[in-house]
Chains A and B, each alone.
Chain A
Amino acid sequence: MNKNLMNVYGVDASKMKGTPLDVFLPETIDEVKRIVTTNKRICIRGGATGLAGGAVPENNVDVILDMSKLDKISNLSGEHRLVEIEAGVILDDLREYLYEFGLEFPVKPSSHMVCTIGGMIATDAVGNRAIKYGKTSHWIKWVEVIDCNGKLERKGITELSDYAGLEGITGVIVRACLKLSSVKTRTASLVKVGDLDDIVATVREYKRNTSVSMIEFLDKGISKKIGLEDTYHLIIEYEDDSGKFKGRDYDKLLAKRDEVYPLIASDGFVRIEDPKIMLDKFPKLMRWLEDRKIPTFGHIGVGIIHPCFDYNQEKCIPEMMKVVKRLGGAISGEHGIGILKKAFVEFNDKKILENVKKRTDTLSKFNMGKVI
């Protein structure tokens, strides 16, 4: 590929930059095998919507393996609610395909329009509906992976933890068999909450309702930015008719929610984090963030929040990570570690990851310099 055009493949949504040595766009699994066997260092790329630099290559060292052209959907079984897909299938394309059959893949990150299933498995994406549907790995029957020697292997549920959520450091995910659920009619409500402590009680109450599939939090500033009142808001999604927003109004509300990050990023709050925290500790962390005027939104139903930092506030991130750890939380709930959060990985977690990497990627080929 022409050197100018390679610049396109050196970035992702994290705004980190790198220059790839070369770029490959395989169309078949055999081509992936060939690329893996003939290259020393490979950076795997899906939709490049990652916010932690997971798809950014190391300067002039990594070749990019863009999985976008591996986009075949096959063997849909309505009876068993299973479908086989290649790693480059875009989530919304899959949803569109399945809709005709009254089925859906229920995990839905905000980047559902662009993200690939391979990337979702690699980061074990969570998404808005995690309170009801959990993580991507909960919806996988098996994955097919190419190891560092170019060998294709099928990994079942027992070995899935070596690949799902490990951000491609252990092998190239090329195909997967996904479990599906039936399409639901969804509605939503917008709830105003005046106080941070009230949010905890309100969220707990909604979580008891089994028809609730999403609880999203917007802080005062963000609510105002998207045209709501200057107070805290919760977006509640129901899988029945209980919500006030139905049909097109529901779609509009959810589209607004999906655009929250790009909107605040345009004000300079580009660096987005994803700490996960227990619900009762949420007010403490929120107060810490509000004192520093850091806009925050997130999937409060599962305790993942997204504080967004501008250039001057970025120095607060290590301090925030300390606060999160002190409160018993995790540094990354869904975006993954990538390059950006490497420094915050606990010593013990790092040791475990290193061992998995040594066992699976014996030639140190995949996504080197990421996660560990």
Chain B
Amino acid sequence: MVTKTTKPIPSKTDKIEAGNLMEEVAEIFENCIQCGMCKSICPVFKILKEERVSARGHAILLSKKILDKALFECTLCKACEQKCPLDLKICDAVRKGREALVLKGKGLKSNEEMITNIRKTGNPFGKNIGDNPEKLYCC
């Protein structure tokens, strides 16, 4: 059973919070020189070979305060941070970017479904799957 979700309408506070997050994110990338070292180790880029989903791609978009669902394709593995010669906290920025997307009501439908299911049934599938698995909780 998949629970239907309705798209949340962002409140004024959410919009302000998202704006603040974007300021923080843009600040993280203030010194980025786009050398592409982060891209060299990005596992997502290694497979898809598309700059838009690479660490540098996220850096370029977030430094311009552009939010896109491509942010959800990052694995948050922090490999890019290991390679970054400036020690930029790229994954922190991506996480904040995702937060801002959700606050603006532009999160992924599948994620919203999972959250609703966890809240209702304690698991992301929305099904009663027996006693064995531990129950998950979501805020």
Is the CB of A187 closer than 8 A to any CB of chain B? no
How many A residues have CB within 8 A of the partner chain? 32
CB distance from B59 to the nearest CB of A (A): 9
Is the CB of A216 closer than 8 A to any CB of chain B? no
Contacts of B68 in A (CB 8 A): 2, 4-5
- Render B21-46 as a binary contact track against A, CB cut-off 8 A, 1 for contact: 00000000001011111011100000
Taken together as a complex, chains A and B put the C-alpha atoms of A111 and B36 apart, in Å, by: 8
Taken together as a complex, chains A and B put the C-alpha atoms of A13 and B56 apart, in Å, by: 10
Is the CB of B79 closer than 8 A to any CB of chain A? no
**Count of A-B contacts with CB under 8 A?**
77
Whether B86 pairs with A266 at a CB distance below 8 angstroms is yes
Q: Which one, A7, A25, A111, contacts B66 given CB within 8 A? A: A7
Contacts of B39 in A (CB 8 A): 47, 114
Is the CB of B78 closer than 8 A to any CB of chain A? no
CB distance from A120 to the nearest CB of B (A): 14
Is the CB of A270 closer than 8 A to any CB of chain B? yes
Most buried by B among A47, A49, A92, A270: A49
Is the CB of A265 closer than 8 A to any CB of chain B? yes
Binds A, one of B47-55, B90-98, B128-136: B47-55
Whether B66 pairs with A4 at a CB distance below 8 angstroms is yes
Instruction: Name 9 A/B residue pairs within 8 A (Cβ), A-sorted.
Output: A4-B66, A4-B68, A5-B57, A25-B49, A71-B49, A113-B37, A113-B40, A265-B35, A266-B31
The chain B residues found within 8 Å of chain A, CB to CB, are: 31, 33-37, 39-41, 49-52, 56-57, 60-61, 64, 66, 68, 70, 83, 85-86
Task: Beyond the given A7-B60, A262-B33, please list 12 additional residue pairs across the A-B interface where CB-CB is below 8 A.
Answer: A4-B66, A4-B68, A5-B57, A5-B68, A7-B64, A11-B34, A13-B35, A25-B50, A113-B37, A113-B40, A262-B85, A266-B33
